[in-house]
A and B are shown apart, each in its own frame.
Chain A
Amino acid sequence: MSHLLSIIIAAPFVAALLLLPCRSTDRLLMRWISLLGSLVSLTGSLIVAWRYDIKAGGLQMAELYPLVPSLGIDIRLAVDGWGVSLLLLTGIIITTGVLASWTLKDREKEFFALLLILVAGVFGVFVCQDLFVFFLFYEIAVLPMYLLIAIWGSSNKVADAGPFRFIWKLFDIGGREYAAMKLTLMLLVGSAFILVAVIALYQAAGAHTFDMGVLGAFKYDASLQKWIFPLVWLGFGTLAGVFPFHTWSPDGHASAPTAVSMLHAGVLMKLGAFGVIRIGMMMLPEGAHAWVWAVGLIAAINVLYGALSAMAQKDLKYIIAYSSVSHMGVVMLGAATLTQGGWNGAVYQMFAHGIMTGLFFALVGLVYERAHTREVGKMGGFAQAMPIVAAFFTLGCLSSLGLPGTAGFVAEFLVFAGAWSGPHLWWALPAVAGAFITAIYVLRVTRDVFWGPGPSEQFHDLLDARKTELGALWILGTCIVLFGLWPRLLLDYIDPATTQNLAMATQTAQLTPTPATAVAAQAPPPVAPPAATAAVAHAAAGGGR
């Protein structure tokens, strides 16, 4: 039994523990401990990717540690192709996140410790094969957020206006404490639903184990599935920013400090989507088939609503935050198609969006730190003062709008193609429209901030990215281009895993089709999709099958 996966999870946690006895004057030491912790995880993830046998596929590198034998709770770790990609994503984001927070000045010890604990939870979720421990890690990944935002976040008071202005006064909207509390409570209400679903699945299977393999193989009663699936969807969906439960996301991401926004938008929201697919769709196939129309519909709303909201924002961080809501809609849309292409795209989008939004928040954090404002209207021509930042921001924008050659393109294209070959053709429309609106607002914001007429007096001596910040930007930027030009690199891992996972999500339903939903839900096996689409999808998949 190799211990690679447990090392990946434990490294950040151990680093967090090592931070505790540090004196608050050992500033460099604390940063190095944090960086080292995240680097161990990143290296571990790379080794996992290296060692993972693509040909064999399936779950590999399994580890098993009993936790509560009397209830059948074990720490079961194993990784499949999806896990490999998401591990890599998390490793990259935490490493760059630590690099981007190098200049943090206030109570660094607590900050880095909480950040590392959080990321240990994230790693855990992606490789855990025990439903209960999955939930455990999920909670760990959610909770430190409260303190991270409430202590190190920034407030940007929103002017009260409109018919509900009294609420503004009541809740301190725009304040970091408001944002932190809103985020935590919304996500934990979500996890209350998840907990109920977890217990329901455990009890219904009656197998006295939380092993996801065993529970996933169990054929749950169709009526049970139909009411558990919404719980899972709403529970995890809240974290994935599913409309209308996305409202924590703009406030939270805008108020959070740089590394936390990076991690939260970059990785944590993926946790939600991953949960919906892993628990909801794969373990409750019939429930998924009964509800998939709603998932797709809401995801379509997400894409459009997120993009339109982003267009209306004047605050740089809110723009990026709403764009995350929109892009997570693409992930959910891909998931809802229940097709090979759609799921490949969903996972690829998780990765691509994670990297891209990480880059965005790192840059926005940089700009905010230098310029002390997030108002787009006040900025302009920053490219002269900070050319590197401008270049990377533009790169991020291009990936965001899905320019071929960037990771964003591969992901969005796969999802669109998946939607087209899926049961609801029209889902492709809002998705494409969303990409179009995205192009409008990201290009506009790039122009307004960086490329417009020269910087005003107060912004003449803005510093460009330096040292560690530069390192973070280069890592993220390289990933965007690398995975845009060479999608096979990742799709080789994702595609076989998708085939297997999709089989779980569709097979059961086909064995026992429910009369009402069979017609709508039966995912047509991609026997004869439109020839052109199939060819392009294959090309985009890089022959990964």
Chain B
Amino acid sequence: MNFHDLQPMALGVLLAAAAALVLLTDLFTKPSTKPNLGWLTFGLLSAVLVASFTLDLRGEVASHVWRGGAWPVFLARLFLVAGLITVLGGMDHIARKWTYRQGEFYTVLLLCLTGMVLLPGARDLVLLIVCFELMGIPLYILTAFAKTDSGPKPVEAALKLFLIGAGSTALTVFGAALLAGLAGTTDMSVLVSSTLSPLQGIGTMLLLAGLAFKIGVAPFHMWVPDTYEGAPTPVVAFLSVAPKVGGFATLVMVLWQALPRLIHVWGPVTLVLCALTLTVGNLGAIAQRNIKRLLAYSGVGQVGYVLLGLLSGREFGVAMMLFYLAAYVVTNLGVFLVAHAVAEAGDGETISSFDGLGRRSPWLAMSLLLFLLSLAGIPFVAGFWAKFFVFVAAWRAGQSEMVLVGALFATVALFYYLGVARAAYVNVSAKTEKIVVSRALAGAIIACLLAVVGLGAWPSPVVEAAMAAARSVSGIGP
């Protein structure tokens, strides 16, 4: 095998190289110039994103173990966009708070992205789990990055994520081991071609439970609010979107690709989980007073909708799920970054810290409003199409009751999202000074805003791309 054979997984290779480059550069940079590492990372990520458009990424690597095509490319772009916005938005915070550890931060982030980008192409259970862990382990480090900067909460957050993460990995690996052992192979395409046995059902359940922990599906969601509350906000912004996309990509590959014949086992279970997630997430968010906890619960609720898409068929349903994830990535990043901007100004992280934002910083408030509306699924912002597409897919799959449930919970969600909007626009605050937003952070928020509005006004290109990706993963397209 020569190096040229690796071309389909070029994005992963490039990212790994970028991580190495950043780590090395860090060694030779003075503390005063270390903030440039952020821009270096940003540039490298942009280059990889450009490469995803210019390189030919189709084909297989190492006979069937890794397969390129529209599916991994679509997801890779999603991860890269999440990475780019996180780097841009968090840059100043990182430079200010952890001046000497900037290199580590970006290296770890890039490694995490490497795992993510490689994940969707994996066609072998072992490689899949390796990629999944490559994605997961850096996240433990990132959440713990604040150490004890602001009390014991960051440590608690990281420890919770770590323990839950380790436990769920154990479940996943055990499930995978059962499946692979029964099939006699780790090749995902032939995993369930042998006769069905009850043990396979157990293996599937374990695998599902492990992944459910990672993406915060109720009732495996209890770590989410605590982790979000304690971890540094730029990290949470990333944590709240990218690993979820990774988790869902894994679920698609495991459930639809490897185990479609066991749909009678995982289908009903996932449906119940989906209903439970919608309920717990949306009802749990109502009582929250801390913006990050609120967004954590709202994220759980959003996961419910993504699950609904996942359940609704391997081609159309998965495509609509991908669109949902794309909309969710830009929206959720945006809302966290706005919260970050407000917190950076020293106003805290409660909902009342948004009081009077509409008067203090009209543009910031308007961005917040649009992000919240997108999360709630209101027309002409990205989130609306996302919800609608998922509903159409669910209806096609015969889940009409779930559509009604989902639509009603969207109204519940609007209640708490509007609670935040009310703080920003209706409540008055003693503070009147404008919130100072650093240029990079403002750029990141504007990027999210443009994406949210753009997807809302013209969703078609991303829909087409998602369709192509879904066709590719279900083996119909390239």
* Chain A interface (Cβ < 8 Å from any Cβ of B): 66-71, 107, 110, 132, 135-137, 139-140, 143, 146-147, 150-151, 177, 181, 184-185, 188-189, 192-193, 195-196, 199-200, 202-203
Given contacts A188-B414, A192-B408, contact A71 B392 (CB under 8 A): yes
Q: Which of B385, B426, B464, B467 contacts A151, CB < 8 Å?
A: B426
Report Cα–Cα, A55/B407, bound state, in Å: 43
CB distance from A204 to the nearest CB of B (A): 10
CB distance from A11 to the nearest CB of B (A): 17
9 more contacts with CB within 8 A, not counting A68-B385, A193-B404, are A68-B460, A69-B460, A110-B358, A143-B378, A150-B426, A151-B358, A181-B415, A188-B411, A196-B403
Q: Are A192 and B392 in contact (CB under 8 A)?
A: no
Q: Are B425 and A150 in contact (CB under 8 A)?
A: yes
CB distance from B339 to the nearest CB of A (A): 20
Count A-B contacts at CB 8 Å. Answer: 85
Q: Which residue of A lies closest to B391 (CB)?
A: A199
**B95 interface hit (Cβ, 8 Å):** no
* Chain B interface (Cβ < 8 Å from any Cβ of A): 358-359, 362, 373, 378-380, 384-385, 388-389, 391-392, 395-396, 400, 403-404, 407-408, 410-411, 414-415, 418, 421-422, 425-426, 458-460, 463-464, 467
- Residues on the A chain within 8 Å of B395, using CB: 199-200, 203
- Residues on the B chain within 8 Å of A107, using CB: 358-359
Report Cα–Cα, A203/B380, bound state, in Å: 23
Closest 4 pairs between A and B when the two form their complex, measured CB to CB:
A192-B407, A139-B379, A136-B379, A150-B426
Q: Which residue of B lies closest to A109 (CB)?
A: B362
Given contacts A71-B392, A143-B373, contact A151 B425 (CB under 8 A): yes
Report Cα–Cα, A146/B388, bound state, in Å: 22
Q: Are B396 and A140 in contact (CB under 8 A)?
A: no
CB distance from A173 to the nearest CB of B (A): 17
Q: Are A70 and B467 in contact (CB under 8 A)?
A: yes
Q: Are A140 and B380 in contact (CB under 8 A)?
A: yes
Given contacts A140-B380, A143-B378, A199-B395, contact A185 B415 (CB under 8 A): yes
Report Cα–Cα, A143/B378, bound state, in Å: 8
Report Cα–Cα, A259/B475, bound state, in Å: 56
Report Cα–Cα, A356/B385, bound state, in Å: 37
Q: Are A192 and B463 in contact (CB under 8 A)?
A: no
Q: Are B400 and A200 in contact (CB under 8 A)?
A: yes
Q: Are A70 and B463 in contact (CB under 8 A)?
A: yes
Report Cα–Cα, A71/B463, bound state, in Å: 10
Report Cα–Cα, A143/B458, bound state, in Å: 20
Report Cα–Cα, A345/B81, bound state, in Å: 55
- Residues on the A chain within 8 Å of B379, using CB: 135-137, 139-140
- Residues on the B chain within 8 Å of A66, using CB: 460
Name 5 interchain pairs, CB-CB below 8 A, sorted by A: A70-B460, A150-B426, A188-B410, A189-B408, A199-B388
Given contacts A151-B426, A185-B415, A203-B392, contact A196 B378 (CB under 8 A): no
Report Cα–Cα, A150/B423, bound state, in Å: 11
Report Cα–Cα, A223/B338, bound state, in Å: 49
Report Cα–Cα, A380/B270, bound state, in Å: 66
Output the residue of B379, B385, B422, B459 with the most chain A CB within 10 A: B379
Q: Are B392 and A199 in contact (CB under 8 A)?
A: yes
Report Cα–Cα, A107/B467, bound state, in Å: 44
CB distance from B126 to the nearest CB of A (A): 36
Report Cα–Cα, A195/B389, bound state, in Å: 11
Q: Which residue of A lies closest to B413 (CB)?
A: A188
Output the residue of B362, B403, B425, B426 with the most chain A CB within 10 A: B426
Q: Are A195 and B391 in contact (CB under 8 A)?
A: yes
Q: Are A150 and B422 in contact (CB under 8 A)?
A: yes
Report Cα–Cα, A107/B360, bound state, in Å: 12
- Residues on the A chain within 8 Å of B463, using CB: 68, 70-71
Given contacts A67-B460, A143-B373, A196-B400, contact A189 B380 (CB under 8 A): no
Q: Which residue of A lies closest to B387 (CB)?
A: A195
Q: Are B400 and A147 in contact (CB under 8 A)?
A: no
Report Cα–Cα, A540/B464, bound state, in Å: 54
Report Cα–Cα, A196/B414, bound state, in Å: 17
CB distance from A178 to the nearest CB of B (A): 11
Q: Are A196 and B418 in contact (CB under 8 A)?
A: no
